[in-house]
Structure 1
Amino acid sequence: MRKFATNQPGRLEDDFVVGLYHKSKRNFWNPQDLDFSQDRQDWNRLSTDQQNVLLQLSALFVGGEEAVTLDLAPYLLHVTRNGSFDEALYVATWTFEEAKHAEFFDHFHRKVVGGTPELALLHVESWKQIFYQALPQAMNALQIDSSAVAEVRALGTYNLIVEGVLAETGYRAYKEVLEKQNLMPGLRKGLSYIQADEGRHIAFGLHKLSKLLFDYPQAKEALEDVLSELIPAAIGIVREVFAAHQPMPFDIYEEDFVDYSLRQLQHRSEVLQRPFNPN
């Protein structure tokens, strides 16, 4: 007979994870509610070089958001197989939020850029290494391998590299370009919602990784392998995007973003080095 967590009196729950689930509900937003009318006017006033930079950035984001939406499904199945109802609640909202993020960028392309250009042409090689190969491989491995090592590889790839380094560095680029020049209020508003969502995703990933590394210290080597494999690709994305736009408009500089990427990773690594309290 199947056992349901909701039928069990006095069941154990992870209060941190349940708290993230409730916060997701309280912070609901709808991409269709955003007004892009001013964004369209701002876009039309940009130079071709400026448009090309923003288009490549949004192309990498929309492709990445679609990828993480699709690639998260094995993790939801993984936590349900483990009987973790509290985690299933949160991962379900997490998946929904990633879908909204992809919808948001697609909506931006349709309303502001004007249609959906062949965005795959803007996917640089290091980005392909992560989103065409490393991410789906790590997440899909959970369908046949439910070990702590496989879960650490999956969350390390997803939360530390994709969200903790790549997405955060992308938000920094948008901030440097859009906020300083007071451009595209609709895009900026949506980005603020997305960054708040991603903050919860990263918080869950760090929490779960800390728990896994506490319970299975041998999995630390798997996390180190993920980082050594993917940090060069993460930095490569920054370098390849800058190389594609010379001279780079908006007065932004490659080394600033490389340094920022590495600081983001260092910050998350320091969190994982703190003692984990299982209670």
Structure 2
Amino acid sequence: MVHHESFQTVTGSINWDDPMYKLYEKAKKIGKWNPADIDFSQDVKDFQSLRDEERISALPLISAFSAGEEAVTLDILPMMHAMANQGRLEDTMYLTTFVHEEAKHTEMFSRWQEAVGIAHMDLSVFHTDSYKRIFYEALPESMNRLLTDDSPEAVIRAATVYNMVVEGILAESGYNAFREIFKKAGFFPGLLEGIDYLNMDEGRHIQFGIYTIQRLVAGNDEHYKIFNDYIDELWVHAKDFVNYLTQLSEQQEKLITYESKINIDPTLLKQFAERQYKIRKSKIDRVRKYDSVEELEKATQ
């Protein structure tokens, strides 16, 4: 049984300047949106106005996001457990908002699917082996390891799959695809409103992952290798799934012989995902020559 030996707020105070406390403050101020308040009435009309082939073109992204948001909601708690075990109060405080936000993201997609009439459909048909490797296997494996192992290696791997790959590469690429496809076409304003809220929330989530990995990697080549090897391993599966989505788009374009209301650039998702992968790696690579995140921050001010 683990016992507390002291409490930070009794022997001292919350560190108001801690990066994780600042994320907590942002979440309190910005993250007040309610999925139940989003109006999907126009989305229903838009969905009904589409032909079958056009409707189908929207489903793979919806499927990926809906399951993905549920997965990260179910799998986030071990990270809070690990930070609490380590006595990282500010991290734990921030993660309370993180959990709440992931639940709202799951709710938002479920409400949209119900509103447009596809809640009865089994969208898991779009989950490839590569998708399953990340969301069905690697994510819960790495996160649940934290329940019994909060070592630097375990935390790095958990933050890498969750924050850098699932959120930093795949989700960011998905947001961009939603906007490029549906915003340009003038469709699904409710869904796009929700996407904007998700994007703001997950920007904070990604910052948590970057900082968490940076503080463990700074001045430690062994820890950097753990991160670099694991993100490269996961990128193979992420890239395969992105290629699958691209191929589906190309197949749909061949089936549509009329002037479609929805125009999809088959290379869009692929190029954006590749860019996000390189950005995530660069965010961690830049701390390698410093002994701490604080040194990096001072040097780049």
Q: TM-score range by the shorter chain?
A: over 0.9
Matched residues in 2 for 1:32 and 1:132: separation?
28
Matched, 1:6 2:9: yes
Instruction: Decide which of 284, 288, 300 is 1:272's aligned counterpart.
Output: 284
1:255 — aligned with what? 267
Matched residues in 2 for 1:137 and 1:14: separation?
33
Matched residues in 2 for 1:192 and 1:84: separation?
30
Over 3 Å counting, the alpha-carbon distance change for 1:12 and 1:29 in structure 2 is closer
Count of paired positions: 279
1:149 — aligned with what? 153
Deviation at 1:214, TM superposition (A): 1.2
Matched residues in 2 for 1:140 and 1:13: separation?
30
Instruction: Decide which of 52, 57, 61 is 2:61's aligned counterpart.
Output: 57
Matched residues in 2 for 1:230 and 1:43: separation?
34
Matched residues in 2 for 1:68 and 1:205: separation?
13
**Structure 1 runs (4+) greater than 4 angstroms displaced:** 10-14
Percent identical pairs in the alignment equals: 35
Matched, 1:21 2:38: no
Deviation at 1:69, TM superposition (A): 0.7
Structure 1: stretches of 5+ with no match in the other structure: none
Matched residues in 1 for 2:281 and 2:225: separation?
13
* Per-residue CA distance 1:201-230 (angstroms, 9 max, x = gap): 011111111111016432111111212211
Deviation at 1:170, TM superposition (A): 0.6
Matched, 1:75 2:87: no
Matched residues in 2 for 1:200 and 1:145: separation?
25
1:159 — aligned with what? 163
TM-score w.r.t. structure 2 length?
A: 0.88
SS at match of 1:51: helix
Matched residues in 2 for 1:10 and 1:191: separation?
36
Structure 2: stretches of 5+ with no match in the other structure: 257-261, 288-292
Correspondence list, 1:42-191, <5 A:
42-191=46-195
Matched residues in 2 for 1:14 and 1:135: separation?
31
* Per-residue CA distance 1:217-275 (angstroms, 9 max, x = gap): 32111111212211111111111123334133733233332121111111122222224
2:209 — aligned with what? 205
Deviation at 1:126, TM superposition (A): 1.3
Deviation at 1:113, TM superposition (A): 2.9
Matched residues in 1 for 2:219 and 2:16: separation?
17
Return the index of the structure with the highest Cα Rg: 2
